[in-house]
Amino acid sequence: MNTMPDDRPPPSQAMRVGAAILGNALEFYDFTVYAAFAVWLAKAFFPAENPSTSLLLSVATFGVGFVARPLGGILIGAYADRFGRRPAMTLTIWMMALGSGMIGLLPTYQQIGVLAPILLVFARLLQGFSAGGEMGPATTYLLESAPAHRKGFFGSWQLASQNLGGVISGLVGLALALMITPGATDSWGWRVPFLLGILIAPVGYYIRRNLDETMDAEEAHGSMGQVLSDLVANHWQKILLCILLISGGTISQYFFLYTATYAISTLHYSQGWSMAASLATAVSGAIFSLVGGALADKYGVKSIAIIPRLIVTLLFYPALHLVISSGSPLVFVIVAASLMTLHAMASGAGIVLIPIIFPSAVRTAGLSIAYALGVTIFGGTAQIVFTWIISATGDKLSWVWYVIIMSVISVIGTLAIKVPETLKGKPQDSKPTAALAGASN
């Protein structure tokens, strides 16, 4: 097993968790901020006579960030399985901050013309590459650092940290709505959240570089090429099933991320209410992701990945119908946060299910590639599909059926996954609890 080359005391469990989730929080902060400020980015970079066209171009650029995620997942995932989880995590945190800073500093379309949206696309590609590479090493590190009886809870911090990024995004958006005028937001206020994303990188790098390593050097392949060859030859079926698992979860996640844009552009609520909805769902998601992980340790990871997903799927349409019929922004906020509780529990368990089915030598690459492909194909196109469906049908509820259908497909994929009886390559006790392994088959 790899160890630190000096005599520093090993980091505490709290430090391991904190270091792993920091990058995830930054990653999702960047992505959530873009989704929340899509309306303002549309005005700055994609001015058009038709506001719907302008918004569609803006959310399409949001989707562009997902194009580079599979490449980041493949290269950085294989790097983490060959050279270690820690160096992979220190690399991605700098790239994420660079992409966020670029968006905050870019001149607008009015200032430099068509070059502005081109540079915005480049920044989104950089964010996407780093995000694709961040998730796998961080989640693997969490699981491999966890006690045997708490792997579900530790792993669920991955989803919780994503929602923590959403909490920070929501607080920043709400503060801007309260502190500056809509005109100031249009002019310069939209830059502030992206510039704030730079600040966490030096702190995150310092913390991560002082971690110990959880990769088992004796089980590691000799090259990144061998990691990928093993994965493709022996584990491609698992990757396909994991993509199906991810499909419904990621579309549901972007259903919640879309709430700010939906509240402003479709329901015509104020900026303050739209940011309140984003904040409420993020807080709910952060808390109940951890609840899902804790329940997975007790009742089985597959059970918790499936049952809350089925319940929230049944509730999506009637809940949104209530929002539309009430016309109340407060009802909208309460409904969104309530639906998130179930989605977060299922996702908190689901994200743990993926890496535990891969052996240590390809665990990070398997998780990274499955997650990046699933999120790119389904999450990256979600806001475009949502916007297009509403625009094409004129029905404020039509887009919800897409979320429902993909959630059902996700449940089918989850049911087909088999959890191994033992987890290999853990630095501590490698035998999972009965609930995490045997009871969840």
* pLDDT for res 30: 73
377-420 confidence digits (pLDDT tens): 888 788 788 888 888 888 878 888 998 999 999 999 999 998 76
- What percentage of the chain reaches a pLDDT higher than 70? 86
**Band (69; pLDDT cuts 50, 70, 90):** confident
pLDDT tens across 100-159, in order?
A: 888 889 898 888 888 888 888 888 888 888 888 888 888 888 888 888 888 889 888 888
Q: Do residues 249 and 347 lie in contact, with contact meaning Cβ atoms separated by under 8 Å?
A: yes
Residue spans of the domains in the chain: they are 13-440
Categorise residue 396: left if φ over 0, alpha if ψ from -120 to 50, beta otherwise. alpha
Q: How far apart are CA 188 and CA 108, in angstroms?
A: 10
pLDDT recorded at residue 422? 46
pLDDT at 170: 73
The CA-atom distances, in angstroms, between 67 and each of 93, 126, 402, 408 are 19, 10, 21, 25
Helices 38-45, 51-64: inter-axial angle, 10-degree rounding: 100
Indicate the residue type of 343.
H
Q: What is the pLDDT of residue 437?
A: 42
Q: Which pLDDT does position 318 carry in this prediction?
A: 92
Measured between alpha carbons, how far is 108 from 19 in angstroms, rounded to an integer?
A: 35
Q: How much of the chain exceeds pLDDT 90, in percent?
A: 20
pLDDT tier at 24 (50, 70, 90 boundaries)? Answer: confident
Q: What tens digit of pLDDT does each residue of 186-243 get?
A: 788 888 888 887 877 777 777 777 777 777 777 778 888 899 999 989 999 999 999 9
Cα separation of 160 and 293, whole Å? 10
How many Å apart are CA 344 and CA 286, to the nearest integer?
8
Q: Is residue 287 scored above 90 in pLDDT? A: yes
pLDDT score of 128: 83
Of 3-12, 15-24, 194-203, least confident by mean pLDDT is 3-12
Alpha helices in 146-222 (DSSP H): 151-179, 182-187, 192-196, 200-209
Among 161, 162, 166, 163, residue whose Cα is nearest residue 193: 166
Mean pLDDT over each residue of the chain, to the nearest integer: 81
What pLDDT does 289 receive? 93
Q: pLDDT digits over 341-367, tens only?
A: 999 999 999 988 998 889 888 999 999
Q: Which range, 92-96, 123-127, 244-248, 381-385, is most confident? A: 244-248
- Is the pLDDT at 169 greater than 60? The verdict is yes
Fold of 13-440: Growth Hormone; Chain: A; (1.20.1250)
